[in-house]
Amino acid sequence: MRARPYTEEVPKGMLHINGRPNLERIVCQMRDELDITEIKIVVGYLSSVIKNYFKDGSRFGVRITYIENNELDKGLAWSILLAGRDVQTPCCVMLSDECYIGSNHRDLLSFPNEEGIAACTIMKAEDSRLIKRNYSVRRNGNRAIRLLEKPKVLENNLLGLGTFILNPAFFSELSKAFALSPSYVEFVTFIDKLCDEKPGVLCFEMQGTYVNINDRDSLNLARYYERSTSFNETSIGLLLYSEGVEENIAFTIQRYRRNTAVSSISVVLPHDNVIEEKIRSCGVNAIVCSKNVTLYGEKLKYALDRLEEDIIILAEAEYAYPEHDINKLLEYIKEADMVTGTRTTRQLIEQGSTMRGLVRLANIALAKLIELLWWRREVRVSDVGCTFRAMWRSCYMDIRHRLVARGPELLAEMVVEIMRDRKRLIEIPVNYYNCSEAMNRKYRNRKTFFRILTMLAKKRWSDKYN
């Protein structure tokens, strides 16, 4: 229950790590690192979510069958017995709420698993609290001498993990244990007893990074580790919003090209514009909207739907945000699903900018209204209308079907939907220069303020009655 409210609609194993459920990562690890093609998934709470996603497993190159556990109170041992009682060969058990990054599961194939009735896995842990929340292991070489569930006093720094190799004889012994204690068998304690009997229990040391996903913080940590590991291979696209009249677009493109982290630059344009050729001559992608796509939000979604980069950065065709601030967004995006800029820091707003006075106060007021309306989500924002932001494409795809705004209120709606989906949003101060006259005339007005206000009211009303 510690993972609530994240698990109110999906099981823990279906929480996303960098764009895909952790259970999918485990299925792929079994397939790619352990050469496993037949997988049994024990399901109970919200089982339809898992079944509808994986189906028969053919999409993932494996065959999946489902084992229904209607007696969850019997614990982990009962789930494992249900799945393994007919197993005729050694099998691997992995828990759906454990995230492994850069691990050496492949080495389990050459480990002498046949020398024991079972093998547990361990990892050296610097944080003793992790061991106390899981189980500890005392070993002698590759032999497990003692396993202790949730120890109060630690003998070493070995953290017991949720990957096990179990031989067929293990399930016979587990079945006998349930015959003696039908209501519950503590799994780690059961394995501990087998350490004293022949052929004993083996112990395999795992390498890499491990996170047990049990709450909001551990979920965010798993996402951070996964994103950081592969960040150098991540593609980063910059999308510039244009009203189709910005004469200095070539200058803006040239400035943003200075940032070598950006893989590609695209400019979204209205159907009727005067700068398309200038953009194409700069060697960047011009996304020209169809004639019926006319409003700010419509155009932005039109372009976002056509981008394929892993991370998408939004900015404006006028050079309103300096290219070096992109680095700020990218540093924090490893820890968040979306990073938005805030233009409310006085020292970073260019003198004479339109983001002063009433405009600045209006943005702050709307941001504080979001905090008030959804105070349980613990979101902290101070600027609802800042274009400059970075988000993972997978995050955008998760919320895309709920983005219904057609006008400039889309930027605020993104913030609300990130928050409603319990994703992580981080806001950072950014430098802000004068925006284009075209943007100023169309969107820095009372109409935009009330569009955002109306959108917030509708979203909050929907939350209350759904």
Considering 207, 228, 249, which residue would you say is the last residue of a domain? 228
The Cα 134–Cα 219 span in angstroms is: 17
pLDDT bin (cut points 50, 70, 90) of residue 353 is very low
Are 54 and 192 within one domain?
yes
pLDDT of residue 7: 55
Does residue 236 contact residue 259 with C-beta atoms inside 8 Å?
no
Nearest to 22 by CA among 134, 106, 97, 104: 97
Residue 139: partners with Cβ closer than 8 Å, 6 or more residues away: 122, 145, 158, 203
Is the confidence at residue 465, as pLDDT, over 60? no
Are 346 and 397 within one domain?
yes
Kindly state whether residue 254 falls inside one of the protein's structural domains: yes
Output 345 or 5, whichever has higher pLDDT: 345
Kindly state whether residue 197 falls inside one of the protein's structural domains: yes
pLDDT bin (cut points 50, 70, 90) of residue 221 is very high
Are 66 and 186 within one domain?
yes
Considering 196, 228, 260, which residue would you say is the last residue of a domain? 228
Q: 187: domain CATH number?
A: 3.90.550.10
Strand residue runs (E) in 69-111: 91-94, 98-101
User: What is the mean predicted confidence (pLDDT) over 209-213?
Assistant: 95
pLDDT of residue 269: 97
Are 50 and 143 within one domain?
yes
Considering 210, 228, 246, which residue would you say is the last residue of a domain? 228
Give me the sign of the Cα torsion angle 143, 146, 149, 150. Answer: negative
Does residue 439 contact residue 316 with C-beta atoms inside 8 Å?
yes
Domain count, the chain: 2
Q: What is the greatest pairwise CA distance in the chain?
A: 82
pLDDT of residue 435: 61
User: What is the mean predicted confidence (pLDDT) over 172-201?
Assistant: 96
pLDDT bin (cut points 50, 70, 90) of residue 466 is low
The phi and psi torsions of 402 (rounded to 5 degrees) equal -105, 0
Q: Cis ω on the peptide bond leading into residue 322 (within 30° of 0)?
A: no
Q: Which domain holds residue 135?
A: 12-228
Is the confidence at residue 6, as pLDDT, over 70? no
